[in-house]
Chains A and B, each alone.
Chain A
Amino acid sequence: MKYSAWSLVRGALTGHRHWPPAWNPARPKPRYDVIVIGGGGHGLATAYYLAKNHGVKNVAVLERGWIGGGNTGRNTTIVRSNYLYPASARLYDFSLKLYEGLAKDLNFNIMLSQRGLVLLAHSRHDLDAMARWANAMRMNGIEADVLSREQVGALAPALDLSPEARLPIIGGFLQRRGGTARHDAVAWGYARAASGHGVDIIENCEVQEFLFEDGRAVGVKTTLGAIRADRIGIAAAGHSSVLAARAGFRLPVTSYALQALVSEPIKPLLDTVILSPGTGAYVSQSDKGEMVIGAMLDLFPSYAQRGSFSVEQAIVAGTLMLFPAFSRLRMLRQWAGIVDVVHDSSPIIGPTPVPGIFINCGWGTGGFKAIPVGGWTLAHVLATGRSHELAEAFQLERFLTGRLVDEAAASGIAH
């Protein structure tokens, strides 16, 4: 069913009883052309682009829990493409461009809001580094503007701009096309569109082991039985190493908890996204009015989706340095997602040492913004056997050849 103004009017006149489920729950078939492990944004986007771009429709997405219940439901919904190196800039800006057309493409309102994203400079060194960063972005064809303190203040008057602040704000830089999107809608939109192409979306189905023939992976054994496939894609973020170990290889990945929290809803106060590498805090306001506050990593390996209180304390303190007016806000929810951090802060998209298995991981703290391009490029290598040109620099092999893409800018905040 196509969503449109007409379908809303029709629903209003008929008591809204005609809405079908957005996608159909499926039981696994014995065999597929492609299995995608992980029903988050990246996995669902992979299935959608396999069907749409490559005509590969005999596809199953296997999700251990429920759709979008992992990191896709545990992020701060920020989209941006403020990266330094040409390979990264191309990759992330392609993702942002896909986001810009995604609501229409999926026929699902992902509530993209390009409200602009401001990074704050707290020292002369910050300002010099940001001028270099913004220049690199412009050289790569992505607009970016260096801001004075007054310009930052005009964009976000609630910030403490006084020179007496613990970390005074002396300027910053802005990517106007950055902003936020509705995280659940991205997962649900991709799931619905993929299901519309005939993809089976199978929830509560955990992959327990891989099946091999002559050294090649030919399927998986799951909690719902064995499923065979010609090719297998892994899009499991913080659990990539667990699946890799089950398939018999290792990854240059360490899993950390990344946490965020939201306040009670308040009236509109902040209509941009503010990142402060100096305090480690980043803040935006959701459409519901909640202040969404993101933290830096809990810097010890973890698979616990809860986050450390000491990091939470630090991030609240950092946020109050920026916005003293928030001091009486009550926090409603706090959560953590398990992110897959690699040493150069750049993703891995391509083949693995095991024939038949391909992987999309290593996005670390920045996976949400990359969902469209992660799906697009993993689908390409699964369908054609060749890496997409955007993904060529982001192969697992680079950790053995030394050709890293060291994106200190990737995380936005240092890690």
Chain B
Amino acid sequence: MMHIPCPHCGPRDESEFVCGGTSHIERPPLDASDRTWGEYLFFRDNPKGLHAERWLHAFGCGQWFNLVRDTVTHEIGAVYAMTDPPPP
């Protein structure tokens, strides 16, 4: 069971959260080609290692936030706001 540090409520059990997938994916302009649009919708880096992702504290404060998590060890690094850029 992961302990996820909600920036508003502090560390809580994983079962209170919902993962919203990769962060920082930018929507292309509406006149984008089918290829660009398909890549935006479906193609992902899916890294083995550090991954910047969105989480929702669904059974808590109901707020979204970003975190960087290792997909092999599940260790959580930086936790930051939805509007912040990814940490270097």
Contacts and interface: CB of A to CB of B under 8 A. Distances in A.
Interface of A: 239, 241-242, 245, 250-255, 299-304, 308-310, 342-343, 399-402
A183 B57 CA distance: 39
A246 to B, nearest CB: 11
Of A303, A304, A343, A401, most buried by chain B (CB within 10 Å of CB) is A303
A302 B13 CA distance: 17
B29 interface: no
Contacts, number: 72
A37 to B, nearest CB: 15
Chief secondary structure at chain A's binding surface: mixed
B14 A253 contact: no
Chief secondary structure at chain B's binding surface: mixed
Contacts of B13: 310
A241 B1 contact: no
Contact of A300 (B1, B47, B53): B53
Contact of A301 (B34, B41, B51, B73): B51
Of A299, A300, A309, A399, most buried by chain B (CB within 10 Å of CB) is A300
Interface in B19-78: 19, 21-22, 34-35, 38-39, 41-48, 51, 53, 69, 71-74
B18 interface: yes
B43 A251 contact: yes
Nearest to B17: A300
A300 B53 CA distance: 9
Contacts of B48: 239, 241-242, 255, 303
B72 A303 contact: yes
B9 interface: no
19 contacts: A250-B39, A251-B46, A253-B46, A254-B44, A255-B48, A255-B71, A301-B22, A302-B72, A303-B71, A304-B71, A304-B72, A304-B74, A308-B1, A309-B1, A310-B13, A399-B42, A399-B43, A400-B39, A401-B34
A237 to B, nearest CB: 12
Given A251-B44, A255-B48, 7 more contacts: A251-B46, A300-B19, A300-B69, A304-B74, A308-B14, A343-B42, A400-B39
Contact of B44 (A239, A253, A299): A253
B81 interface: no
Nearest to B18: A299
